[in-house]
Amino acid sequence: MKRFLAVLAIALLAGGLLLRASRSQPLENTNSGPQYTSDGKLVRPQGYRRGVYVSSGFGMSYNPDVGGNGQPAFTNVFVTPSSYDYFLANGKWPDKTVFVLEEYRSTSHGSINQHGSYQEAFLGLDVEVKDESRFPEKWAYFGFDTTQPSSSAIKPAKNGCWNCHDQSAAVEHSFAQFYPELLKVAKEKGTIKPTVHLETK
């Protein structure tokens, strides 16, 4: 009995140490907003997969002349947890919101798969940031390849990316029309831009 209690005490102690160690691990920018280098470049978001998963797309293109050729890509969208909570309560995005869109090549051939497609090789990240103190246009766009540690804004002025989001995104600069759960919230809160048409074909 004494031996059993001693083993149990050791196990409990080890478990407590492991739990304390796991709690001490940083969330790696998951909820801390955008981080920048000293020369103003956005630091590649780390731990973004601990954020809130918003939705995925497959082979999407906003250009009617592009799409359906080659291997369509999967895109998975994540957002900072505090921003997600704010959106649920208000139907809009707070300052310092960070969206991360990761892109994966698709494939249909592998293992036991006989139909459909799944995600394969990682292609890179697109990052959308709302930072009102840094960007006069409030929102800015960044791109990262598979290893790039930091990235300058993709022309934070009103370029193609900015204009597309500004004109066609359902809520502020977010394409909530492609995120079913967020679209429900935006409809409830009445925050869908009146200039955006959501009817489906």
In a domain, residue 109? The reply is yes
For residue 21, what are its two tokens?
């160690």
42 pLDDT above the threshold of 80: yes
Q: What is the pLDDT of residues 100-155, one digit of tens each?
A: 999 999 988 889 888 889 999 999 999 999 999 999 999 999 999 999 999 987 76
Can you tell me the mean pLDDT for 173-201?
Answer: 92
- Count the domains in the chain: 1
4 pLDDT above the threshold of 60: no
Q: Show Cβ contacts of residue 44 under 8 Å, excluding neighbours closer than 6 positions.
A: 125, 144, 148, 149, 150, 151
Q: How far apart are the first and last CA of the chain?
A: 72
- Provide the 3-class DSSP secondary structure of residue 121: strand
- Provide the 3-class DSSP secondary structure of residue 70: coil
The whole domain housing 54 covers 27-61+68-158
Under DSSP, the state recorded for 44 is: P
In a domain, residue 89? The reply is yes
In a domain, residue 2? The reply is no
Report the number of secondary-structure helices (H) and strands (E) in the chain. Answer: 4, 7
For residue 190, what are its two tokens?
């009445």
In a domain, residue 137? The reply is yes
In which band, very low, low, confident or very high, does the pLDDT at 197 lie, cut at 50, 70 and 90? confident
For residue 181, what are its two tokens?
């759960």
Sign of the alpha-carbon torsion through 131, 135, 137, 142: negative
In a domain, residue 9? The reply is no
Distances (CA, A) of 5 to 9, 10, 156: 6, 9, 63
Percent of the chain with pLDDT over 70: 78
156 pLDDT above the threshold of 80: no
CATH number at residue 127: 3.50.70.20
Can you tell me the mean pLDDT for 72-96?
Answer: 97
In which band, very low, low, confident or very high, does the pLDDT at 52 lie, cut at 50, 70 and 90? very high
5-9, 41-45, 68-72, 187-191: least confident range: 5-9
Q: Using CA atoms, how far apart are residues 84 and 51, in angstroms rounded to an integer?
A: 9
- pTM for this entry: 0.80
